[in-house]
Amino acid sequence: MPMSDDNPPPTMALDSSATECPVVQETESGQKLLQFLQRRLNLPQAMLHRWVRTGQVRINGCRCKPFSRVQAGDLVRLPPFAIKMAAQCDDPLPAPARKPRNSEDAASGPPLPPLIGSSGYLWAFDKPAGLPTHPGTGHEDSLTTRLARHFASASFMPTPVHRLDKETSGILLVAASYAALDEAQRALRGQRMVKEYVAWIAGRWPHERTCLVRHFLRKDAVRGFEKMCTVSADVADGKEALCLVRPLIVDDGASLVQVRLLTGRTHQIRTQLASLGHPVLGDAKYGQARPGSPLYLHALRMILPDGAAFASLPPWTGARAVAALPDPIACGDGLPSPPPLLCGVFPLGGEGATIPPLH
């Protein structure tokens, strides 16, 4: 269900989810049957798999497989007890997957973040700092749970295409159909979607123009907490992390930089900048900030493969305010090609690399 840029997302109501022969809606088209059943019934996967395998679930009257694709208009026959079982099932899946059924919950719960634009079934929200993308230990409120509350009757619950760290603000894409979700995630994996950030970092950024920054990252457990670290290129489980960094404001105390991600690793920007000696201001995990400090990292812009673009300025005030939207970082054919085992900062234009220490 596409949204206009001027209207908030309406609540979807599709009564077919309460029948023993639900009709596949346009928003659900293209899913695997098992995914369709899990979203509609919210029952354990093993149970649904068994129903399909034994012929109790059929598509348009024909036997099918769990990974058959459903299309808009398909009639999916369910066992006569399926709907009742789904209604009575007590928390069959983790809390993030559960969808409130009371429409009054949407009005009484926290609001959705501001909607800044849409393109078909893709919606762009301006996520505030402090709101997680998904719920977790100690924080049940999240964008995902708010979407579930506001779209409790939807045949396909709008789903975040990617994630932002809890303390990172800015643009976050949400897909309102399975096809939009699948295509957007494919575009991200294929690097056909532009993601840019702005960040205030500690110290004077030493490079005058846009640079390619390259590291290899690995996830480690440090005192019970997951944390990314840089490793040598020859470490087996190290994953290449690439980004472009452009200085916007440079000062001895702090610098404002614009970052375009070329890969999508966990905490990539925070890890790479910290490894260069310039952690993001307010970063208690990778820098020296106190816990609870505001993180000066903002998802500034996203550009879709079709050219549709979404942008938002960070909410920072005072000396850290960003008054104007910078132009996108150009990424043509002029990117340097570092040797396979070399990490560091590579100025665009063929100059030699600045090699940082790897920790």
Cβ–Cβ < 8 Å for 174, 158 = yes
Label residue 71 by pLDDT band (50, 70, 90).
confident
Sign of CA dihedral 240, 241, 246, 249: negative
Q: Which residue has the tokens 């979203």?
A: 39
Least reliable range by pLDDT among 84-98, 218-232, 318-332, 336-350:
84-98
- In CATH, the architecture of 193-347 is 2-Layer Sandwich (3.30)
Average pLDDT over residues 127-143: 89
**Can you give the residue ranges of every domain in the chain?**
15-181, 193-347
Label residue 356 by pLDDT band (50, 70, 90).
very low
Distance, in Å, from the CA atom of 196 to the CA atom of 193, rounded to the nearest integer, reads 10
Q: Annotated catalytic residue: which of 15, 165, 182, 252?
A: 165
Give the tens place of pLDDT for each residue, 188-242. 999 899 999 999 999 999 999 999 999 999 988 766 677 899 999 888 889 999 9
C-alpha 148 chain-centroid distance: 16
**15-181 matches 193-347 in fold:** no
Q: Tell me the three-class secondary structure of 132-164, residue by residue.
A: CCCCECCECCCHHHHHHHHCCCCCCCCEECCCC
295 contacts: CB under 8 Å, gap ≥ 6: 129, 165, 167, 168, 280, 281, 282, 283
Distance, in Å, from the CA atom of 115 to the CA atom of 143, rounded to the nearest integer, reads 12
Q: Can 165 be counted among the known catalytic residues?
A: yes
**pTM recorded for the entire structure:** 0.76
Quote the pLDDT of residue 257: 98
Please determine, for residue 15, whether its predicted confidence score (pLDDT) is greater than 50: no
Mean per-residue pLDDT over the chain, rounded? 83
DSSP letter at 332 equals S
- In CATH, the architecture of 15-181 is Roll (3.10)
Quote the pLDDT of residue 14: 31
